[in-house]
Structure 1
Amino acid sequence: MTDNGSCYRSKVFAQALGPGVKHRRTRPYRPQTNGKVERFNRTLSQEWAYVRAYDSEEARAAAYGAWLHHYNYHRPHTGIGGLTPSDRVHNLAGNYN
């Protein structure tokens, strides 16, 4: 899902999606649609990407996995009553069909 920017309406972008991928666009002037992802991006910048100086982009990328684990398994989220996202997902390990 993307916004309606011109780069997402190009033939090059459509080709990059590949076969079998349905491109969905947000409704114009509808911040409710992508508000959660915008908040996640803000959290990324405040808690991971720019929280400290990294020696290189590779070092920043290497720290991402640990931060994402913390975000999903240990960081309480006020929007879901202080739970973590992993607390909210049933069958997280994929053991049940």
Structure 2
Amino acid sequence: MNTFTPPHPTHENLSQKTEGLFAKARNPFWLAPMAGITDVCFRQLMDEMSAGVLISELVSAKGLFYNSEKTRKMMRIHANSKSIVGIQLFGESAEDI
């Protein structure tokens, strides 16, 4: 079994990345992921309400592998989004992701 453990980020690197993300967001308000709620229409509404960051509900890595239409729909982003958008992936194993 192949495994990969990414190196742990140093405190300095992590804080630089976080500060960069916060600096790019329009404001400090992030839309939390909610299963069955945070679809593309809801994310668009929150974008129009000026959310800083939008996070999708959990998206199956296997669904992406098998090119599932339902999975692809969960990842849609409207064309005029001004917010940062994050997609959450989940899988049974590291190989899935």
- TM-score, normalised by the number of residues in structure 2: 0.25
Point out the structure with the larger strand share.
2
The structure whose RCO (Cα within 8 Å, separation 6+) is larger is: 2
- TM-score, normalised by the number of residues in structure 1: 0.25
Q: Which has the larger radius of gyration?
A: 1
